[in-house]
Structure 1
Amino acid sequence: MIRALIAAALACVPLAAAGQDFPTRPITMIVVFAPGGPTDVMARIAADHMGRTLGQRVVIENVAGAGGTTGGARGARAEPDGYTLTVGSLGSHGAAAALYKTIAYDARELEPVGLIAGTPGYVAVRKDFPAKSLAEFIAYAKANPGKVTSGHAGIGSTPHLACLYFTHLTGLNLVSTPYRGSGPAMNDLVAGQIDQVCDLAPTVVPQIQAGTIRGLVIAQPERASVTPDVATAAESGLPDYVFTGWNAIFAPKGTPKPVIDKLSGALKAALADETVRKRISDLGSIPPGPAEQSPDALRKLVASDVEKWGQVVREAGIAPQ
């Protein structure tokens, strides 16, 4: 019995040492979408502050493709030592399991670090689009079936889910145009190459504020202070269109708990910083409260959304890609 206790105690030494020494070199944070989208923006805000807390640089690596699952797979396969993290979304780490026939990871088996922010959805159009309101847009699209082009961040992404939900509620026949991230989709909307996007606050809000696009509706019960002129879905006659995505940090399965605790603590320190919270809020996103910041809270959120969106996709009759 004594020998067994000694062996168990010695087995814990490497884990404890890992937590004490970590990190001793820069950390790579894989963002599963292209630069400029909501996941990328939230990751960079978190990484900047976390790097200062941890005493090491947190380097962003954008790995886009397949609705975020290309980057998600690379992050899941990384060494479970805390030096490779993944920033995912509701799409890549929630609904993707139902939208793809094969996916190289199960988000429920990853080690959650914590939630960065909630991201309200918007519907926006190019600035010279004929419709000035959601009602006018719906009328125009119905009068021109199969002619209005709708962009999103790729099959399985959170903006894609927002588009699916939008067309399901409105019955519109839009020409769906998938991109390798929100950034490229927004670039084409600003350039007038597509007519409309369903996307999230960090991508849409700066362009609405700059006047380069026109926001038609925010998928929230109340208007946002950062876009006060954009009506809610309820005000626009579509009360069921309520949609909020999220961005969060994950580590590979098997990452030692002391390392996860240190990473989670650094994220919590970032979210406690008023400058960080203001940066998140100024983009129309929602910083999580204390009860939402723990790894366990994120684990429960992921499990809930995998089940929820799996059911939504099945009931909508969407065939996995």
Structure 2
Amino acid sequence: MINKFLQPLFALSLCAASSLALAQDVFPSKPIKLVVPYAAGGPADMLARGVADKLGPRLGQPVVIENKPGAGGHTGAELVAKGPADGYTLVLGTIAHNGAVKLYKNLRYDPTNDLQPVILIAESPSVLLVKQDSPAKSVAELLALARSQPGKLTYGSAGNGSAMHMAAELFRYMTKIDYVHVPYRGGAPAMADLLGGQIDLLFESLGTAHQQLKGGKVRALAVTSTTRNPSLPDVPTVAEAGVAGYSSVPWYTISVARGVPPSIVSKLNAEINAVLKAPDLIQRWEPLGVLALGGSVADAVKRNQAETAKWSAVIDAANIKLE
């Protein structure tokens, strides 16, 4: 039995313990970090910043972008996968983490098992670009140019296993051309070298290609989707341009470390879904050819599984290997 003189103190301690437990249960109670595993300025970075700007006010905490490029997007993703499973560190995932995992033989983590998908963010086709002064004015002319000088043309990417890399390797496999891959630490530096003439072509995300297209510095030869994109109605698909059956549509997710409590994953999913339905975000992305997705955690897992099956088959069939 508790001494009557100690009862007020005991009651006070119970209240304090209850308050502490409640405080610990409230998520989020501090800023959240969204890791973009590529250099600033690329498609993943653009999408992450669009989401973060609106997600912070909804959660009542800042959502801070941190660019951690390296290893084709795996440096940043590994940091998240091996970090605390508390939901305070997110990662913007791409095909490198969600579909082309078979390409990597010596990763120090397992993207499929060490990362928990939270939500599908968006999808956007890539666009095959050459510099404005390139002699290739169509896919047919580009193929003729490549075949006239095997192994001479170069293409850039955001890194090994990136959407840019896989789109170009699928193109190589289906057209039987030979060109040289130049991997960068993100899409932005790859675009800079295309503009500077250091590389010959690029499968850039449509979302970030529009600025250069409007400036007249690059020429779009084809989009990688199965249908033409409304933002570039006069640009054919790669399939229309002569490579029958070609299709490559990059998709993006937000993931956390495996082991984050389901209640936190569910809360993040719900709040990001709300962000992706914001009319001004949709209006900003649609003219760039970016389709906001959203949906359940299960939807993200299902998409990743389907894409992994597709790209694993492509990697095997095309015998794609890292340099």
TM-score computed with the length of structure 2 as normaliser: 0.89
- Render the CA deviation track for 1:166-187: whole Å, top value 9, x for unaligned: 1111111112111111110011
Matches of 2:190 and 2:211 in 1, distance apart?
14
Maintained 8 Å contact 1:154/1:180: yes
1:94 maps to 99
SS of equivalent residue, structure 1 residue 87? strand
Q: Which runs of 4+ in 1 moved over 3 A?
A: 16-20
1:215 maps to 220
Matches of 1:238 and 1:266 in 2, distance apart?
41
1:163 maps to 168
1:69 maps to amino acid: H
Matches of 1:101 and 1:240 in 2, distance apart?
29
1:272 maps to 277
Matches of 2:99 and 2:22 in 1, distance apart?
33
SS of equivalent residue, structure 1 residue 80? coil
- Render the CA deviation track for 1:34-60: whole Å, top value 9, x for unaligned: 111111111111111111110111111
SS of equivalent residue, structure 1 residue 244? coil
SS of equivalent residue, structure 1 residue 111? strand
1:104 maps to 108
1:233 has 2:232 as partner: no
2:319 maps to 317
SS of equivalent residue, structure 2 residue 125? strand
Q: Percent identity?
A: 40
**Which 10-residue stretch deviates more, 193-202 or 309-318?**
309-318
**Which 10-residue stretch deviates more, 55-64 or 235-244?**
235-244
Say which of 260, 263, 269 aligns to 1:258: 263
Matches of 1:319 and 1:239 in 2, distance apart?
24
Matches of 1:138 and 1:242 in 2, distance apart?
17
Shift of 1:282: 2.1
* CA pair 31-312 structure 1, distance change in 2 beyond 3 A: same
Shift of 1:306: 2.5
SS of equivalent residue, structure 1 residue 224? coil
Tell me the C-alpha RMSD between the 2 structures: 1.9
1:7 maps to none
SS of equivalent residue, structure 1 residue 198? strand
Matches of 1:33 and 1:120 in 2, distance apart?
18
Q: Structure 1: state its 5+ residue gaps.
A: 1-12
Matches of 1:19 and 1:39 in 2, distance apart?
32
1:69 has 2:79 as partner: no
* CA pair 131-273 structure 1, distance change in 2 beyond 3 A: same
Shift of 1:309: 1.8
1:43 maps to 48
1:194 has 2:196 as partner: no
Say which of 297, 301, 321 aligns to 2:303: 301
Maintained 8 Å contact 2:170/2:318: no
Maintained 8 Å contact 1:107/1:302: no
Q: Structure 2: state its 5+ residue gaps.
A: 1-17
1:66 maps to amino acid: A
Matches of 1:112 and 1:92 in 2, distance apart?
10
Mark the structure with the bigger radius of gyration: 2
Matches of 2:231 and 2:63 in 1, distance apart?
29
Maintained 8 Å contact 1:94/1:107: no
Maintained 8 Å contact 2:99/2:311: yes
2:10 maps to none
SS of equivalent residue, structure 2 residue 127? strand
Shift of 1:19: 8.3
